[in-house]
Amino acid sequence: MQETMINRAKQLLADGTVTRVIGWKRGEFAYDITPAVFESAEELESDFVFDDFTSANVSKYLVKESAKEGKVLVFLKPCDTYSLNQLTKEHRVNRDNIYVIGIPGGPKLDIEKIKAKGISGILSVRNEDYTLKIETIYGEETMPFSEAILDKCASCKSKKHVTYDELIGEDGDVLDSNRFDMVEKLENMTAQERYDFWREQLSKCIRCNACRNVCPACTCEKCVFDNPNSGVENKAASDSFEENMFHIIRAFHVAGRCTDCGECSRVCPQNIPLHLLNRKFIKDINELYGAYQAGEDTTSKAPLTNYTFDDCEASIVHERGVE
Amino acid sequence: MQRIGVFVCHCGTNIAATVDVKAVAEALGHEPGVVVSQDYQYMCSESGQNLVKNAIKEHNLTGVVICSCSPRMHENTFRKAAAAAGLNPYLVEIANIREQCSWIHKDIATATEKAVILGRAAVAKVHLNAPLIAGESPVAKRALVIGGGIAGIQTALDIAEAGFDVDIVEKNPTIGGKMAQIDKTFPTLDCAACILTPKMVEASQNEKIHIHSFSEVTDVKGFVGNFTVTIKKKARFVDETKCTGCGLCTEKCPMKKVPNEFNMGLDNRTAIYIPFAQAVPKVATIDPNYCMMLKNGKCGVCSKVCSVGAIDYKQEDRFIEEKYGAIVVATGFNPIKLDKYDEFAYNQSPDVVTSLELERLMNAAGPNGGTLLRPSDKTHPHKIVFVQCVGSRCDDSKGKPYCSKICCMYTAKHAMLIREKYPDTEVYVFYIDVRTPGKNFDEFYRRAVEQYNVHYIKGMVGKVTPQSNGKLHVQASDLLANEQLHIDADMVVLAAAIEPDKTARPLATMLTTQMDTNDFFTEAHPKLRPVESATAGIFLSGACQGPKDIPETVAQASAAAAKAIGLLCKNSITCNPCVAHSDELMCNGCSSCEKVCPYGAITYIDKEFRMPDRTTKVRRVASVNPAVCQGCGACTVACPSGAMDLNGFSNSQIMAEVDAICK
């Protein structure tokens, strides 16, 4: 797969279709993959990686890259194409300046789950028939592939590419996913239980801003949390409840625009299940205004910024504070 | 440094009885920036206003907070006072301590505390107020009247009389509305058609009035003085300019089994039809649901017999766009559906009819040529039972909570006319109360009882059962005699409640006007502004605002016309300077605001920006047209990046108010 992608990218660079390629390259460790921009065949040959750890959604990089001169090639998994569509819809990227190659999606691996098995000193991870052969400095270890899948892949919503210029491999379908199970569980809690759950989770937040920085819906020219005039900048430090407000403000900010790519939870160093906040919004929107998935297309009207005569009044449908 | 003056009004005892106004003035005097804090009995009075004016001059105030009634009431009064004293009028803030405080609290301590908090929020806001300058916008010298019943016709005639062009949009093929279906009118018993049709003709002949019949309003943009309205002229498959209304096509049309809505479905019409003889415009219309030519291309008789070639089977809906300075809503009413009233057997027997159906049965142009016959077997009814308040004054979910107002009088009229024409017919009227306030109304009702011997019985009908002999068995209670009554009636007439026309609600959304829970349009003030809606430039005429009889409707129609004329006379109106603006450095260009703007005030431009590293970058940013923006604030909440803000109601001002309240 990696070979095919590199060869196709080299071709497109060579014939002048694109001038840059967005993909992934290795970091310090084998499993330590980061998004990268490649400008030559040599760079692609030496650094380009595509394996079980290339889970990062690279669509957000297109905000900057598509504004530059020359077309940019991007490899997008199905989930990433939703993000690109949403960015296109919001005029945040120049779609005409992007060449999308759709590539197969995950499931991708979560290195934390491998480490949690007590495996350390990892040098490389190979998938042989859904058994992971893990080479470490202490020798080889094995574990089932299924036990190391990223949470966001375990509740995958779609294997379908919603936008692409060409595909490598077959296109899949929208899946009947179990992604709202945990949201339902939270909904069934009492208000106090739910409050305790979120207090416990959110109090772990160290305000590193990783969730915001990775989020493809967070592309404002000037983020409120960086704007001294906004009145909410740096409030995180002022009292213990403020980190909750940070996440609640962010969840409202991306409500109706979140494509549920799951990156916020994947990058959180404190393992806060931030995607649950977004999924609650998606679920509510589905229930109140009919099924809607942000990023599914670039033309439909988003329910939260649209009015129809049969819109329900959410506050009337759900009586507040009633358990 | 801000120098703020606080003025607390007693409003007689309206505020002072529940709020310790002196304590409020004292407390607010200690707020930061406040240099003077006073209370006065009537701040809106001339001496009250002088108090404010003098304080502005004496203390060199930079901001004013008035703690008084709702800003809807007197904001303008105090803005004018401030302007007269040389202070920008938009540096005045109102803290509503009457409607939102004294009127809803009983306890003085709580109300006083709340009044202080509301005042504190206003002080916090006024700290951030900026002087604003209002612009002007021109007034389009044309009015739109939506609905062509007696209300719409009267309004249009009055506006045209004043010399302004006026368009009537009527959804049916003819104007005339409900009044055209009525036989006689109370309390004078003159014929409805005789007094209505001359007005219809007058409207059609007035060169200032333009009638769009069989048309609907599909879109309204803009604001007072400057509405842009899209009108859908529905395809009637007949060229209005050619059709002479000769009616030959309606005689020859082979499709004769179409329920005639003008006669409440009591007889049939043809697929191509003219609703009634005096229709205006007198132009035929093809009903596409029944026309065989339109349904399967087989027929074409009307086209063959039409000597002027007016039939056009290929006609399509047309859309026209027009600018108006004022809009008058006159969408009228309908009787409610009686499906839920099984106890009266409305769906089981054709001899149980509504009052409007009875009007048609008694009308000379109705299905029986004016002879009252039972719909089932066309015999003369000898015993008729009228049931009042069917669906009116109901507290259950079936009906309406309000009194439909006209039923008592038209039932008295029906009873009297029947007794007059058919003295051998016995008439019973079951009522909860008989309500006859109105000039000559009670005299009229008493004539029905005393002169015509109509049996008025206080009590409700419990059940109507159709019997095999064709009679209707009526079970009822006489509350005054305290006994059960069993009457074998030939006909039962139900005084169905009236409700606003179904087109009113979507129209209210288009016009951004308010409605009450019953879908009647809400007037700007129930006593002092009864014909204006709360939305500037939108006026209310007739039963769309509440149940009304004909004289009341006509009076209100003329009143609405007077208000519209007052607006159309002006060459320009002052714009609201509290409009939105976008901070281009923060704008993402995402189009969220453009999508939610109900006025079409936002466009996007590609603009070049200098970046910190001395490069330039072209970015797509929002741009607000301040002449079109109405300051509704929808964009400010839709904007994901916080780039949109509203003059006079900025995000920071609102946050300052919230902070002050939560302090």
Confidence at residue A207, expressed as pLDDT on a 0 to 100 scale = 84
Report the C-alpha dihedral over residues B9, B13, B18, B21, rounded to 10 degrees: 30
- Among chain B residues, the shortest Cα distance to A257 is held by B640
Q: Distance between CA B326 and CA B227 in Å, rounded?
A: 7
Q: What is the model's pLDDT at position A27?
A: 86
Angstroms from B584 CA to nearest CA on chain A:
10
pTM of this prediction?
0.71
Q: How far apart are CA B281 and CA B172, in angstroms?
A: 11
Report how far apart, in Å, the C-alpha atoms of B656 and of each of A231, B121, B213, B216 are: 10, 7, 53, 45
In the block, tokens 């003159």 appear at B190
B590 to A305: CB separation less than 8 angstroms, yes or no:
no
Q: Given an 8 Å threshold on Cβ–Cβ distance, is B587 in contact with A221?
A: yes
Burial class (CB in 10 A: 0-12, 13-18, 19+), B509: middle
Contacts of B585 in chain A (CB under 8 A): 221-222
Burial per residue of B9-35, b for 16 or more beta-carbon CB atoms within 10 angstroms, e otherwise: bbbeebbbebbbbebbbebbeebeebb
Looking at CA atoms only, how far is residue A253 from chain B in angstroms? 6
- Model pLDDT for residues B466-522, shown as the tens digit of each residue: 999 999 999 999 999 999 999 999 999 999 999 999 999 999 989 989 899 999 999
Q: Which DSSP category does B597 fall into?
A: -
Checking if the pLDDT of B44 tops 50, the result is: yes
Which candidate from A67, A219, A305 shows the least CB-CB separation from B596? Answer: A305
Higher pLDDT, B135 or B428: B428
Pairing, β B426-431 against β B383-390: parallel
Provide, as residue numbers in chain A, all residues whose Cβ is less than 8 Å from the Cβ of B596: 305-307
State the nearest Cα–Cα gap between B504 and chain A, in angstroms. Answer: 12
Q: Tell me what the mean pLDDT of segment B585-607 comes to.
A: 89
Chain A residues with CB within 8 Å of chain B CB: 67, 90-92, 219-222, 224, 227, 229-231, 253, 257, 301, 305-307, 309
Q: Which residue from A minimizes the CA distance to B656? A: A231
Which chain B residues are within 8 Å of A67, Cβ to Cβ? Answer: 617
Give ∠ CA B131-B134-B137 in degrees, rounded to 5: 165
Let me know: does B547 contact B410? Beta carbons within 8 Å: no
Q: What is the reported pLDDT for A239?
A: 64
Supply the pLDDT for residue A322: 46
Least reliable range by pLDDT among B141-155, B421-435, B612-626? B612-626
Nearest to B661 by CA among B68, B118, B27, B19: B118
Alpha-carbon gap, residue B14 to B33, rounded angstroms: 28
* Kind and range of the H or E run holding B111: helix B108-126
For position A316, what pLDDT does the model report?
A: 56
Q: Where does the pLDDT of residue A289 fall: very low under 50, low under 70, confident under 90, or very high at 90 and above?
A: confident
**CA of residue B372 relative to chain centroid, distance:** 36
Query: Which tens digits make up the pLDDT trace of B247-275?
Result: 999 999 999 999 999 999 999 999 999 99
Smallest CA-to-CA distance from B561 within B329, B332, B224 is with: B329
Rounded to whole angstroms, the Cα distance separating B46 from A311 reads 48
Look at residue B578 and give its three-state secondary structure: coil
Question: Residue B221 and residue B600: Cα distance in Å, rounded?
Answer: 7
B38 close contact with A: CB closer than 8 A: no
How many angstroms separate the CA of residue B643 from the nearest CA in chain A? Answer: 9
3-state SS, one letter per residue, for chain A: CHHHHHHHHHHHHHCCCCCEEEEEEECCCCCCEEEEEECCHHHHHHHECCCCCCCCCCHHHHHHHCCCCCCEEEEECHHHHHHHHHHHHCCCCCHHHEEEEECCCCCCECHHHHHCCCCCCEEEEEEECCEEEEEECCEEEEEEHHHHECHHHHCCCECCCCCCCEECCCCCCECCCCCCHHHHHHHCCCHHHHHHHHHHHHCCCCCCCHHHHHCCCCCCCCCHHHCCCCCCCCHHHCCCCHHHHHHHHHHHHHCCCCCCCCHHHHHCCCCCCCHHHHHHHHHHHHHHHCCCCCCCCCCCCCHHHCCCCCCCCHHHHCCCCCC
Taking residues B391-419, what's their average pLDDT? 93
Start-to-end CA distance of chain A, whole Å, equals 52
The answer for B 582-611 residues in CB contact with A (under 8 A) is 585-592, 595-596, 604
Compute the average pLDDT of residues B641-652.
Answer: 92
pLDDT at A318 over 60: no
pLDDT of residue A319: 47
Nearest to A92 among B505, B590, B652 (CB): B590
Please say whether the beta carbons of B376 and B327 come within 8 A: no
Interface touch B617/A67, C-beta < 8 Å: yes
Please tell me the predicted confidence (pLDDT) of residue A320.
Answer: 44
CA B410 to the chain's CA centroid: 24
Residue B153 has φ and ψ, to the nearest 5°, of -65, -45
pLDDT over 60 at A235, yes or no: no
Which candidate from A91, A222, A306 shows the least CB-CB separation from B590?
Answer: A91
pLDDT for B15-24, tens place per residue? 999 999 999 9
Q: Does B218 touch chain A (CB under 8 A)?
A: no
Contact B588 A220 (CB under 8 A): yes
Query: Is-contact B198 B153, C-beta < 8 A?
Result: no
State residue A321's pLDDT score. 45
- Judged by CB atoms closer than 8 Å, whether chains meet at B590 and A231 is answered as no
Who among B586, B617, B638 is closest to A305 (CB)? Answer: B638
Residue B429: pLDDT band with limits 50, 70, 90: very high
Strands, DSSP E only, in B467-505? 472-478, 483-489, 491-496, 498-500
Distance CA B611, CA B92 (A): 39
Whole-angstrom Cα distance, residue A312 to residue A109? 41
| Candidate from B596, B640, B655 with C-beta closest to A220 | B640
In sequence order, which ranges of B398-535 are alpha helices (DSSP H)?
Answer: 407-421, 441-446, 504-511
A229 CB neighbours in chain B (<8 A) are 652
Q: How far is B505 from chain A (nearest CA, A)?
A: 9
Please list, in sequence order, all residues whose beta carbon lies within 8 angstroms of the beta carbon of residue B611, skipping any fewer than 6 positions away: B617
Beta carbons of B134 and B574 less than 8 angstroms apart: yes
| Residues of chain B contacting A92 with CB distance shorter than 8 Å | 588-590
Confidence of residue A177 (pLDDT cuts 50, 70, 90): confident
Interface test with B, best of A87, A212, A222 (most B CBs within 10 A): A222
Residue B611's pLDDT is 83
Q: What is the mean pLDDT of chain B?
A: 94
- A239 versus B116: the higher-pLDDT residue is B116
Upstream peptide bond of B281 is cis (omega within 30 degrees of 0) = yes
- A interface mutation test: which of B511, B586, B644 has the most A CBs within 10 A? B586
Q: Which residue of B has its CA nearest to A87?
A: B590
Q: What are phi and psi of B411, to 5 degrees?
A: -70, -40
DSSP single-letter state for residue B177: G
CA-based nearest distance B596→chain A, Å: 6
CA–CA separation, A106 vs A262, rounded Å?
Answer: 13
pLDDT tens-digit readout, A185-203:
999 999 999 999 999 999 8
Does B641 contact A91 at a Cβ distance shorter than 8 Å? no
In whole angstroms, give the CA distance from residue A154 to residue B524: 57
ipTM: 0.83
CB contact under 8 A, A309 and B619: no
Distance from the B253 Cα atom to the nearest Cα atom in chain A, whole angstroms: 39
Q: Which residues of B touch A253 (CB under 8 A)?
A: 640
Provide φ and ψ at B346, rounded to 5°.
Answer: -60, -40
Q: Which residues of B touch A221 (CB under 8 A)?
A: 585-588, 619, 641, 643
Angle at B302 between CA B297 and CA B308, to 5 degrees: 125
For residue A315, what pLDDT is reported? 55
Coil vs helix vs strand at B169 = strand
B174, B276 in Cβ contact below 8 A?
Answer: yes
Nearest of B238, B371, B217, B375 to residue B302 by alpha carbon: B238
pLDDT of residue B633: 92
* Selected residues 509-538 of chain B with any CB under 8 Å from a CB in chain A: 509
Tell me the two tokens of residue A229: 């005039």
Question: For residue B204, what is the DSSP state?
Answer: H
- Average pLDDT of chain A is 88
**d(C-alpha B145, C-alpha B154), whole Å:** 10
Q: What six digits make up the tokens of B347? A: 């769906």
**Cross-chain Cβ contact B592/A305 below 8 Å:** yes
pLDDT digits (tens, 9 = 90+) for B317-347: 999 999 999 999 999 999 999 988 899 999 9
For residue A314, the model assigns a pLDDT of 58
Residue B620 contacts A where some CB pair is shorter than 8 Å:
yes
The partner residue sitting opposite A309, judged by closest CB among B506, B585, B655, is B506
